[in-house]
Amino acid sequence: MIKKRLEKLRLKLKKTDMDAILITKRENYIYISGFTGTFAHVLVTQNDAVLLTDFRYASQAKKQAEQFEVVEFRGKLLESLNDIIKSKDIKTLGFEEDNVTYKKYISMKKNLKVKKLQPIDGIVEDVRVRKDSEEIENIKRAVKIADDAFSHILKYIKPGVREYEIALEIEHYMKKKGAKGISFETIVASGCRSSLPHGVATDKKIENNEAVTLDFGAVYNDYCSDMTRTVFVGQPEKELINIYDIVLKAQVASLKGAKKGLLGKEIDLIARGIIDKNGYGENFGHGLGHGVGLEVHEKPSLSKKGDVVMENGMVATVEPGIYVDNLGGVRIEDMVVINEGSPIVLTGSTKEIIVL
């Protein structure tokens, strides 16, 4: 897989005027090299692939990055980079502008012996956007862990339990089931707080007759999952039941519509149209979804501004929601793989109304 990823990156590189690209973003060098340590500088040219790291990770890098020449530096980083630049005859070097601080850029510009230091935007991310079979298997495992955690937590949610206790139980369970960690800070928002799209867990106690929104994800082999379900403790308000039905219809329709060839904004419009038609357009203020992979938020975007054309192998969330102040909210989120006219829904948890 690494060999194919390098080939794809080199095709992108060939279309530029750069001799090499310097990769420093962790998710990007994991993807392109297989090395999972927390420190590396990767240089890729049309003929060479070099991974530069320090003593802490040299042995690990040699085992994981088999397609790469691994160089361990013990002195100054930029001096070691210059040695590689000279040996590979690199004149024009691209760097990841979104991952390099201004201070580091000034230092590189001053010390690296290249004719041109050129910022690049998303060249590796553009390769990452279509997942290969190995990536999808890792994502499936992360999704399954989260699905199992949802089934587990339903037995735990009851009046008197605090939101953060629910979040902790979800996270503990996922790690017991093999998760490396959590994809993001777990959201548990109950009662009126469920109207907060990103209402992370607080010390609020669950009460009778209120909604509880759970949004969480697992990390497996560095790949993320992301799911949301809204459940009810006791008998919810009739308006919330109506909202749930609308969100579910919008979510199912947009899942079916997540097809190859459509723009992200066209899929977003499927859900938005249903919600707007039912009078809650102003209460759906975020995008329909986002790509998921090594990062929990990456390309493609399924939103009003989503201008990426869907292609087979892209993985994204579909998560419409309606949020009403002083009442509560509902969000339902699954992960989907774009697959011609038959999108593959990865999330397996039920979406029928659950009243605990």
Give me the DSSP letters along 17-85.
S-SEEEE--HHHHHHHH---SS--EEEEESS-EEEEE-TTTHHHHHHH-TTSEEEE-SS-HHHHHHHHH
Per-residue pLDDT of the chain (356 residues; tens, 9 = 90+): 999 999 999 999 999 999 999 999 999 999 999 999 999 999 999 999 999 999 999 999 999 999 999 999 988 999 999 999 999 999 999 999 999 999 999 999 999 999 999 999 899 999 999 999 999 999 999 999 999 999 999 999 999 999 999 999 999 999 999 999 999 999 999 999 999 999 999 999 999 999 999 999 999 999 999 999 999 999 889 999 999 999 999 999 999 999 999 999 999 999 999 999 999 999 999 999 999 999 999 999 999 999 999 999 999 999 999 999 999 999 999 999 999 888 999 999 999 999 99
Task: For residues 163 and 207, give the distance between their C-alpha atoms in angstroms, rounded to a whole number.
Answer: 11
Distance CA 48, CA 67 (A): 9
Q: Are 20 and 41 in contact (CB under 8 A)?
A: no
Residues present in the chain in total: 356
pLDDT value of residue 282: 97
| pTM attached to this predicted model | 0.95
Considering the domain delimited by 2-128, tell me its CATH architecture.
3-Layer(aba) Sandwich (3.40)
pLDDT of residue 210: 96
Burial of 79 from C-beta contacts in 10 A (0-12 / 13-18 / 19+): exposed
Strands 328-331 and 321-324: antiparallel
d(CA 6, CA 127): 9
The answer to whether the beta carbons of residues 345 and 255 sit under 8 Å apart is yes
Q: Where are the domains of the chain?
A: 2-128, 133-345
Name the DSSP class of 137. H
Residue 90 and residue 18 in contact, taking contact as beta carbons nearer than 8 Å? no
- The class of domain 133-345 in CATH terms is alpha beta
pLDDT at residue 340, as a whole number: 86
The pair of structure tokens assigned to 60 is 């690990």
Q: Number of H helices and number of E strands within the chain?
A: 10, 19
Ramachandran class of 253: left when φ > 0, alpha when ψ lies in -120 to 50, beta otherwise: alpha
Residue 65 has a pLDDT of 97
